A = this chain, B = another copy of it.
Amino acid sequence: MKKNLTIASPSADSVVDAAGKDTSPSQTVRAQLQLRELVLSGELPAGVRIAELSIVERLGMSRTPIRAALVQLEQEGLLVALAHGGYAVASFSEREIADAIELRGCLEGLLARLAAERGAAPVVMNEARAALREIDELLRRPMLTDETFPIYVDANERFHARLAEMADSDVIARQLERVNRLPFASPSAFVIAQSSSADSRDMLVVAQSQHWQVLDAIDRRESGRAEAIMREHSRIAQRNLRAAVNDHHGHAALEHPPGVQLIRRR
């Protein structure tokens, strides 16, 4: 019987963190990341049972870490537990996605309000401003290209992450993270879908205005205003959702954001 099966699978999994040292994630973490990728990329069809063994041979590890990953993804809402054991990929109606976005707006609004009431740490505020200045820079050009778009997405996510820090509330920030892990609910989910759209830049300009305004509101301790802005901010995503779904249903071969096939068409 062969031992030492712990040797890493040939696929390049070793991760190098910011400090440069090689932090090789545990099998469980790898399983979680790769399985999530498998779900979002649509390789696993929604609704049908996921055979553990098929994942085992696909990811090249034992059942134990894979089961752990299944449990976690079920908790995240990406999988649904089946009646007599096992899991299936979840699918979402257009309204469920809209609800998830509304939920994010609600939570970000709460965080913005608390930040305004409690006062945000200057360091975090500056990091947020730095992210916004990057976006300002990008928006100076008449249109965003395939190279500049990833930069926008990155800066946008950094801004939203800092905003979540400002209220200094781990409990709420944690919940927001959960919501953001739902497909389509995260801040820049539908930005991608709209990248090719003609007036996509205008949408980003509006969003960016709200970004600056909410920082201003937090600075001035105008908590009600801060909350209202973030709520309204999420409604841009609502608009993009509708546009993306229509595009998706129309011409099939459009550039998809990860996870479109999880949308349950009526």
Contact = CB atoms under 8 A, between A and B. Distances in A.
A99 B68 contact: no
A182 interface: yes
Interface stretch (A103-111, A147-155, A241-249): A103-111
Nearest to A173: B99
Chain A: interface residue count, which band?
A: 20 to 34
A110 B102 CA distance: 9
Nearest to A68: B71
Contacts of A99: 114, 169, 171-172
A124 B114 CA distance: 33
Nearest to A102: B110
A67 to B, nearest CB: 7
A96 interface: yes
Contact residues of A: prevailing secondary structure: helix
Contact of A175 (B67, B96, B103, B110): B103
B100 A110 contact: no
A174 interface: yes
Interface in A174-212: 174-175, 178-179, 182
Most chain B CB atoms below 10 A, which of A72, A106, A114: A106
Contact of A100 (B72, B77, B171): B171
B107 A77 contact: no
A75 interface: yes
Contacts of A57: none
A110 B95 CA distance: 15
A27 to B, nearest CB: 13
Contacts of A182: 171
B174 A175 contact: no
A17 interface: no
A151 to B, nearest CB: 31
Nearest to A85: B26
Nearest to A28: B71
Interface string A121-146: 00000000000000000000000000
A43 interface: no
Interface of A: 67-68, 71-72, 75, 77, 92, 95-96, 99-100, 102-103, 106-107, 110, 114, 169-172, 174-175, 178-179, 182
